[in-house]
Structure 1
């Protein structure tokens, strides 16, 4: 009888332990957590987040970190800019579910050549054109560097939680004709678009490139 009780307790303990080390979707706890507030800037000014170093890590390394291949698309914007994005839908990073978009760092001439070799072109409602990359360009893309990251958590985050995790921002800018407020952390290379009615959007860039985020926001606020 005592042996049966002991075995029962042991089995229950093992089940509880297994549950404790597993996350939603059966994923184990990361040895190196990939959380949105775990950021670091190295001596060269490169931001590290989600085990990706902006300007240094390539797409292959990001795929390994995310355990997902993502979906790559090349866009030609209405103002004739080429943008390559890799979209990771509903992935879990250290237990937190999110959509992640990586914008790749490619010279315009190379991006244009990839666009012209694209297999299918479609026009979006925004006026941009999207092309599916050829198989050879998809292989090349895996070796290209990540320029910046957009992170959209599945959970709706309130201001108190954001403040507790990231601290108070250096500056807040309200979008024109919108309830979205941008919390700006230039030294961290981070812009959090906080909206009480929609999901928050995090943008990560190297601090030296933060002007690419700040200038349009300032210009828009001045025109209100």
Structure 2
């Protein structure tokens, strides 16, 4: 019985520690954390800066340098033929947290057509999409292109009260299911999927492109 009490107390301490970390906004008595999901700024061009990057200005190489990890880069094609280039960071340390991150790259139609002529190893995905590998010289080109959208997936759960404290009330809230809700902050360039039983997902995009993100997220309903 004593063993079970100790284990229960240990888990309670861990949970309290995680909650304290977020309630303190990443600030302790001796240390101020950067690269937290609510630390958002808009520059004079109304471009969003978050996690040390400015969307549509910072290159993918800037993310690699700033975060200290090299991602898996792929070209993806959806069932309707839409193509995107994304860089997947399996594990990066942002502030006090280990997170997964996905950077979507701004690629012109002409450049995408060039990549189409050289990509290799078509792999089908679970939702009817396809992934292609890029050759080394094209990866080098992608590293010099700007990041246009970021997806941030923390391991720590975010509760609704904390969301309201840090981001305010959303401009729009949609219930995706009994377990998941979508919070939209178009003026901040932020959309958040809160999942009661899974990982929360933060998506960042420049405000002038938010309509496009909203349309893509509407397919989740």
For residue 114 of structure 1, give the secondary structure of its aligned residue in structure 2: helix
Q: For residues 151-166 of structure 1, what are the structure 2 equivalents within 5 Å?
A: 151-166=152-167
For residue 102 of structure 2, give the secondary structure of its aligned residue in structure 1: strand
CA distance in 2, matches of 1:139, 1:32: 32
CA contact 1:189–1:204 (8 Å) conserved in 2: yes
Match of 1:102 in 2: 103
Q: Please give the TM-score of this superposition, normalised by the length of structure 1.
A: 0.80
Q: Which contiguous aligned blocks of 4+ residues in structure 1 show a shift greater than 6 angstroms?
A: 29-32
Match of 2:89 in 1: 88
CA distance in 2, matches of 1:165, 1:108: 38
> Does residue 180 of structure 2 align to residue 185 of structure 1?
no
CA contact 1:173–1:217 (8 Å) conserved in 2: no
Per-residue deviation, residues 134-179 of structure 1 (Å, max 9, x unmatched): 010011111001010000001122112222222221221122x553
For residue 182 of structure 1, give the secondary structure of its aligned residue in structure 2: strand
CA contact 1:191–1:203 (8 Å) conserved in 2: yes
Aligned residues: 192
Per-residue deviation, residues 54-106 of structure 1 (Å, max 9, x unmatched): 00000111111111111101011111111111000121111211100000000
For residue 87 of structure 1, give the secondary structure of its aligned residue in structure 2: strand
Q: Please give the TM-score of this superposition, normalised by the length of structure 2.
A: 0.81
For residue 187 of structure 2, give the secondary structure of its aligned residue in structure 1: helix
CA contact 1:173–1:218 (8 Å) conserved in 2: no
CA distance in 1, matches of 2:102, 2:182: 19
Match of 2:47 in 1: 46
CA contact 1:82–1:108 (8 Å) conserved in 2: no
> Does residue 174 of structure 2 align to residue 173 of structure 1?
yes
Cα gap change, 1:70/1:190 in structure 2, threshold over 3 Å: closer, same or farther?
Answer: same
Match of 1:58 in 2: 59
Listed as ranges, the gaps of 5+ residues in structure 2 are 1-29
Q: For residues 58-137 of structure 1, what are the structure 2 equivalents within 5 Å?
A: 58-137=59-138
CA-based RMSD of the aligned residues comes to 2.0
Per-residue deviation, residues 100-143 of structure 1 (Å, max 9, x unmatched): 00000001231132133113211112221111110100111110
Q: For residues 188-199 of structure 1, what are the structure 2 equivalents within 5 Å?
A: 188-199=188-199
Per-residue deviation, residues 32-69 of structure 1 (Å, max 9, x unmatched): 71111100011111000001100000011111111111
CA distance in 1, matches of 2:63, 2:202: 17
> Does residue 212 of structure 2 align to residue 212 of structure 1?
yes
